Chain A
């Protein structure tokens, strides 16, 4: 995003705002989707984050890229949503089973080996705690550099690297463990 367009956005130029939205909405949507793992929630979060970013545009100092800054705002929004979701889940827990998990495991079409591996990997990733899962998603889904990840998460570069290596170690181990009994059965 060039500085000129941003300056025009700050001044309230509707054309500039329109092109800012156009340029960033899809990546922002994918970002929220990857944190929330739910398209409808991701739509809301994208909306909320973008508007929050526009309102806070004066705080953007161009030390990081606009996208990185936008992601860091969206991360906060998504965390808020996750918190609410946890609260809702706690309230609903007594009466209802967890729908999402049920729907997942009742899918019988998991035949292809490649697909099976990839699904097992997704499950292993979703079991990581947040501080290890987020860097993995930002690196391997959003293809951010470690420097950009550090900016989005507000942690330093060394911490990003150590979280990523620990996550890779976990994921590698989990996958091997998941594969072992199946190989023995064949």
Chain B
């Protein structure tokens, strides 16, 4: 449990030509297998930080190494990195409405060619694991909010990632579904030994993690404790 999967140093990210300073020198370290919550009020820079870790965006300055990949130096398209190492879950707009639950789970695997049959079986297995074995052919509009997020959880795991990044995954759920999804995430995380980063503005949700990193105005509030 001592290997660092994320090392961030002095990350700065600004928007609108520097007028908005979303991240103002964030440093943190996260270990392999940990479940970490990034908590803070709305606008504190949580999503910005998660987007940097998720290689969806690049910092203006600072150092960032995720799963052995230097994301600041790396100049090429980071899609491959995301496909190999990450599972992403968002608050909304996770799923493609026209596709069935099963097809949505398979979407990450269509980015690359190859071995379809086993992946299909794995996707089915994952849907079963998140308790949706009887809804594999339902489309998102026919699913409840909690069920949709469970599909997103299955999708995030289909590529056997090292790291799951979830941005307010329960932000639009009632408390019962919220608990279901959080429990599921924690179970799968320990089962598979992956690292989980959970972004939330809700301290209660953050409590489900091993460790909480607090953000305020683009800065880490509580010092990183290993």
Do the two chains bind?
A: no
- Chain A residues proximal to chain B, CB less than 8 Å: none
